[in-house]
Amino acid sequence: MNKPVLPVTYEQLDHWIESLQPALLDEGFSAVAGILRGGAPLALMVSHAVGLPVAFLRYERATREVTWDSSLPMPVPGSKILLCEDIAGRGFTLVDCIAFLERHGLVVRTLTGAFDELSRTKPDFSLDARGYFALFPWERQAHTARYRDDWTASEAGRRAPMADDHDYATYAIDLDGILLPDVPSARYDADLEAALNERDLLLPFETLPGIDLQHTRAIVTGRPEMDRARTQAWLDRHGFGHLELVMRAAGLHDHTPAGAAAHKAAAVLCCGVTHFIESDPVQAILISQQAPLLRVIWWDAIAHSGTLVGASAWR
């Protein structure tokens, strides 16, 4: 995947479909159909926006077989239907589903979350993602290395079908406030060397966030790169040395909350994970703004509780 990622959130899709409401009403559709699974969220959004009954199609990529997968009967011939899919890609999903509906006498218009320069067909309603890799909330796991490896093997016929989406959940974690207590910033200001020595002697928390470290890809910390040796020594001493350690390059990002959050957001996206656990609530908000499809969890080590954070700019 060499193209830059274009994250598309549920909120953006909801606002976009709401903006299409007058045009969709003017079309006089009798129903909306979503191609399972990526087209289903969009079909439901359209259904709520314009009051249409919603149905679903199932597509088998290996055989290119299309089936009407709904308790609703197929509309009568001559009816106009809106067909929804997440991406108009280079494959045959959309064109095969259009052909299936047209063979049953339906007039078909299409809506997709995005199209790009490789799309086999251009939808009637779509977001322009040419030059980008559009990533939707229901496929955030596609950013992980394991998912890409399994997808490549599956496409080549070398492996059984893909695992369930949740099986690809992969974590990165903050360090201070997650694995060990934070040293108050005032102590660093008063005597930096004493504060660093104090930090080196700290023991890990007895209670850590309830995640399996087997599925933890990296530790992403706001500590500067110059602290790597002593940080790695602490991790090795306490059994965390197997995790990749990503530290802040002081020349790129400063030590302020905004600078640390920018470093962490960029680093976590490069790590290709689905979840990030952060100890500072302000940084959690800033990271969520910069990586909108990342599951950002603010972990309160004192209360032993996590809060899923989502943030959008308020204009």
pTM of the model: 0.82
pLDDT of the residue at 160:
63
pLDDT number for residue 246: 97
- Res 169: pLDDT: 84
pLDDT value at residue 159:
56
All domains of the chain in start order, with CATH: 5-135 (3.40.50.2020), 169-309 (3.40.50)
Residue 154: predicted pLDDT: 66
pLDDT of residue 62: 84
pLDDT, position 155? 63
What does the pLDDT read at residue 151?
Answer: 67
DSSP string computed for the chain? --SPEEE--HHHHHHHHHHTHHHHHHHT-SEEEEEETTTHHHHHHHHHHHT--EEEEEEETTTTEEEE-SSSPPPPTT-EEEEEEEEE-SSSHHHHHHHHHHHTT-EEEEEEEEE-TT-SS--SEEEE-TTSEEE-GGGGGGGSHHHHHHHHHHHTTSSPSPPPGGGG--EEE-SBTTTBPPPPHHHHHH-HHHHHHHHHTPPPPSS--S--GGGEEEEEEEEEGGGHHHHHHHHHHTT-TTSEEEEE-TTTS-SSHHHHHHHHHHHHHHHT-SEEEES-HHHHHHHHHHSTTSEEEEEETTTTEEEEE------
Residue 4 is predicted with a pLDDT of 80
Report the pLDDT value the prediction gives residue 158, as an integer from 0 to 100.
Answer: 61
Q: For the chain (length 315 residues), average pLDDT per consecutive 10?
A: 81 94 96 95 96 96 92 95 93 94 97 90 92 87 73 64 78 95 90 92 90 85 96 96 95 94 93 93 96 94 92 77
